[in-house]
Structures are given as C-alpha cells and as structure tokens.
Chains A and B, each alone.
Chain A
C-alpha cells in the first residue's frame, strides 16, 4: 500500500503540522503518514538569506520512503528559486515530492500582529495547492479554487481551502485517484 506523507523540518511548530496533516488527510482521503526531516540548512543561500527550494526537493526525492506515493514537506524557512524573489511552495507537477513554506503565510512576516486563524487558513490552502500539483493539477482560472495561482498572501486569502468542481473532477479522474 502506498501512502501520502506529510513531512516537516525540525523548526515547524507541531500543532500547526498536525492541523495541516489533518486537513490534507480529510481532503485526499488518508491514510497520511508523518515524517521528520531535520534541518534544511544545506539549502541556505547566504547572499539571499533564503533557502533554495530546488535542493530541498532534491533532498526529498532522495529521502522519499518506498511506500510513499507522494511526499509533501512543510518548513518555516523562506524558499526561493533563482529567477524569483520567493516561492510559497514548489512541487513536481504530477511527481512525488513537494514543499510548502510557512514563512510568508504568517502575519508577522509583514510586520503585523500574529493571527493564528489567518495563518492556518493560508497553510491549509497552500498545502492543498502543492498536493494538487503532485496529483498533476495545474493552476486554475477560478480565483476561489485552491489551485488558482497566488503570488501574494492577499490572493491566498481570497481563495477557498477547497478545490473547485472542475479540479475536484480532474483529481477523481486521475488513475490513482485521490486515494493513495
């Protein structure tokens, strides 16, 4: 049997990790397994003071368990790809591994007072978004769909933490289905 894994780097707050894992399990129909990843300091870029998402994905591929159909990692580190200033997350389209960064989902990042409810809502949406990519979904034109492209937290806030009917249908049509 193959499982959907939700893995976390060492600094991720466990309570938030549990909430996100539960949300992913509910959406994709479990069973979901957990995994500890330790540190991602190897991906640190001193010049940019951020973490490269490409080396993180490479590490995930190397450490992906045999029984993992998909592996979604969460980290508190701020991720980037060379051409962009940051990414909220990245996943192999239709592949095995993806990562979500919580760093820019927190109000504190923008100098605002912490708000746990807002942070968790954003975390759910981004976790669903990157997992959707793992199942082969591309960005959706429906702004409320979890698969719509968000390049700002404001755009994330406008989304629902659910797939639109069309993306939901596409997910169910996948050979492996949403059940892994």
Chain B
C-alpha cells in the first residue's frame, strides 16, 4: 500500500521540488516538500518519512549533507536519497559515508527513480511486516496473555518473567496439550533473548542418528548422504533458546551427548573435529515423569539434575477447571476471525458440558473441540448439541469399583496420591481435605513413597 508511505522532497528550487513531488504523487505516495534544510529538519521532527529526496546544494548554511545528518539524528533508519546536478566522486563518497542510501544525478531516467523508490518501499514494507509479526508473536506468547485465573498457573507465569533473563536450564513437565511450548516461548520472549532465535526440536519425532545430526549438525561426508556441512539446532539457536520437547524419549547415547553439552557448553558436529560453543539457553519439556524414569533406570540421573535446575510443572486442565470457560471464550473469539464464522458465545448448557468433561488432551483438546463445534454450528451461540461429539468420545462414567485384593494400605496410598494431585502438591490443603494433620500426611507420603 503506497498511500501509507510519505515522502519528503527537499530542494530550494520550487520548480524542482514541486515537479518531483507531483511525479511521485501520481505514483500514489503522499508527498510533502521543504524549501530548505532547516524546513526539512523541522518537518522530519514532526513525522518520519519513508524516503527523503534531498538536494545536495542548498543555500542558507545548511547543504544536503548537513540536512541529511540532522535528519539521521532524528531518524537513524531514514532512507535518504541525495540529488545533485554536479556529480563528482568526492561528493558521492561523502554522501554515502554520511549515510545516504542512494545518490542520483539529475536529470535522471524516470525508470531509474521509479525502480529506486519501489525498491526502498519494498524493503520498508518487509520491515514493517516483520515488526508487526514480531509484535504479534511476542504478544501471543507474552506471560501477560496466558489465559488462566488459576493461582498455580499465575505463579508459573510470574516465575517465567523472573527467570526469563537467566541462563539456567529449565525443565517443564506436564501432560500433553497443557502448553509446555507456550510456556517455553513465554520464557524466551520475556527476557533478553526475545530478539534472538527460538528453536524448537521434537526429540520424539526423529530416530537417534537423525536427531544427533539435527541437534549438533554434521560435517560434509560424515555419513552417506551428508553432501554438505549442516548446522545443527544448537548452532541455529545462537544466543537464543533451544527448546527440547519430549526430552524423556531420547536414547541413552544422546543422553550422554546432551549431558556433555550442558556441562561443557560446547560440542562437536557429527564427523567434525572443531569445537562449537553453545550460547543458547536450554529449555526442555516432557510429558513423562522424569523422576520416575530416573528411578526406573531409563533416564540418567546426572542429566536429570542438569536439566532440572528450574522446574516448572504445568497442571492438567482438569485440575484448573475455572480456566475452561475463559479458554473456551478465548478460542471462540479467535476462531470466529480465523474461520470467518459469526459465533460470539458459548451457551450455558455447552459450558456445563465442557466443565464436566475430563479433558485428557488438555487445552489442545479443548481448542480442537471448540473449533469442531464452530465448524458445524449454525447460530451465533455454541450449544450443547454442537459439542455432542464429546459425549461419544468420553470414557463411560462408571462407579468406581474397588479392585479385588486391595488392602487398606493400598487404598490409603491411592487416596493420598489422588488428593495431592488434585491440590497440585499443596500439602496443607491436601491434609485439610483428608481430615488429618500435616505431620501425619508427611509421614504417610514418606511411608508410601508418594511422588509430590
């Protein structure tokens, strides 16, 4: 859109100024003129123009170079084109050294000036698009925009802000669909690394050898098919963040390699002999209980401790049901734009159904359910019948049957573990729910080796 861009033409000769301005206006730009360097600087102080055409020779003690320097003080990124009737190598060099983007000799070919303006505007459009997308991305993952009124989630988001600028490794644990990557991005975008890359790797998606090359890169000829050198994700992340999703699924060999990277902050590309430094912050995530995996001998304890410097446990959606209406409304609002459907509300009956559902797939499942309901709904309000598919997919609700052979102690262990999970590890609250005091609960936790 050309009309958004404004151009300033600066020349003491009115005919020169007005004729170029008129020519550019025909091209759809909004063009202002200035008859002196001072006038130009004053106008630049009021607004930033996309392009400044500045005549080199102007009277009144302020020539084109001086005008350009003063404009650049106000707008360091300004695109300034110096125009002159007398081309010399010296003036061209001076203009370019002082920051002119281009230097044209008048009269110049209309095609030349048209291509020049188009090229600059194209770059400006890309820069603006980039800025908008970055802002959008930052907003999407900013800690302030995580939708939750659950106290535990709010604690997590506050923690994300506090740890954002540290280099310490973070381990995010939570069931599938709870938003582990969202939290990782929130950490990345809240700190000094926000402008650096965020590189996500799903460790479960690739075979061991492929993952090794994916993470650390490889040298040309290091294996069949390695036709050229390839940078790995650690190098791509640079001074940003590398997010290792499903870390619990990596092989024992990769666990050793990763441990070495975390200890030494360096690695070798596959088949390489040159040491590569690691500046990226590591944020890992898993849906499996890593502590249990360590106890079972499936995950190295030294790697677990290296990863678990800062631990974040995201509660499942069923443990924060108060967020369900909030999230449902948020998805309706967002998806109504994306799907182009005029849906504005979730009806009371539908909300009741959503609140009763167990959400094994967590927030992701809720988002998919809302989208599916919106695709098929006919009115502006999502009703219970729009979510009819939930009843078909939900596990049949049956009365809890006591398994045969269960002892009183087994029963007590299950009850305590379930209560602790429901209170999200809050011992005081769990003790209160169970009707016992805290010290008794601690004893029982120790006795039954219950994970908190």
- Which A residues fall within an 8 A CB radius of B? 48, 52-54, 80-87, 90-93, 133, 138-139, 149, 151-152
Given contacts A83-B16, A83-B20, A87-B23, contact A139 B28 (CB under 8 A): yes
Collect the chain B residues with CB atoms within 8 Å of residue A151's CB. Answer: 109-111, 114
Chain B nearest CB from A103 CB (Å) reads: 14
Task: Check if B15 sits within 8 Å of A54, measured CB to CB.
Answer: yes
Collect the chain B residues with CB atoms within 8 Å of residue A90's CB. Answer: 19, 22-23
**Residue among B2, B19, B28, B108 with the highest chain A CB neighbour number at 10 A:** B19
Given contacts A90-B22, A138-B26, contact A85 B15 (CB under 8 A): no
Collect the chain A residues with CB atoms within 8 Å of residue B63's CB. Answer: none
Residue of A nearest to B16 (CB): A82
- Residue B396 lies at the interface, judged by CB distance under 8 Å to chain A: no
Q: Interface digits, B101-120 against A, CB 8 Å rule (1 contact, 0 not)?
A: 00000111111011000000
Residue of B nearest to A88 (CB): B110
Collect the chain B residues with CB atoms within 8 Å of residue A133's CB. Answer: 26
Chain A nearest CB from B105 CB (Å) reads: 10
A54 to B16, CA, bound (A): 10
Task: Check if B27 sits within 8 Å of A149, measured CB to CB.
Answer: yes
Task: Check if B27 sits within 8 Å of A138, measured CB to CB.
Answer: yes
Given contacts A139-B28, A149-B27, A149-B114, contact A83 B19 (CB under 8 A): yes
Collect the chain A residues with CB atoms within 8 Å of residue B15's CB. Answer: 52, 54, 82
Instruction: Tell which of A82, A85, A152 touches B13, judged by Cβ atoms closer than 8 Å.
Output: A82
A119 to B252, CA, bound (A): 79
Task: Check if B111 sits within 8 Å of A54, measured CB to CB.
Answer: no
- Residue B83 lies at the interface, judged by CB distance under 8 Å to chain A: yes
Complex A-B: 27 CB contacts under 8 Å: A48-B107, A53-B19, A54-B19, A81-B22, A81-B23, A82-B15, A82-B20, A82-B106, A82-B107, A83-B106, A83-B113, A84-B23, A84-B108, A84-B113, A87-B23, A87-B110, A90-B19, A90-B23, A93-B26, A133-B26, A138-B2, A138-B25, A138-B26, A138-B28, A139-B28, A149-B26, A149-B27
**Residue among A48, A80, A151, A152 with the highest chain B CB neighbour number at 10 A:** A151
Collect the chain B residues with CB atoms within 8 Å of residue A93's CB. Answer: 22, 25-26
- Residue B18 lies at the interface, judged by CB distance under 8 Å to chain A: yes
**Residue among A91, A133, A138, A152 with the highest chain B CB neighbour number at 10 A:** A138
Residue of B nearest to A80 (CB): B107
Collect the chain B residues with CB atoms within 8 Å of residue A82's CB. Answer: 13, 15-16, 19-20, 106-107
Residue of B nearest to A155 (CB): B111
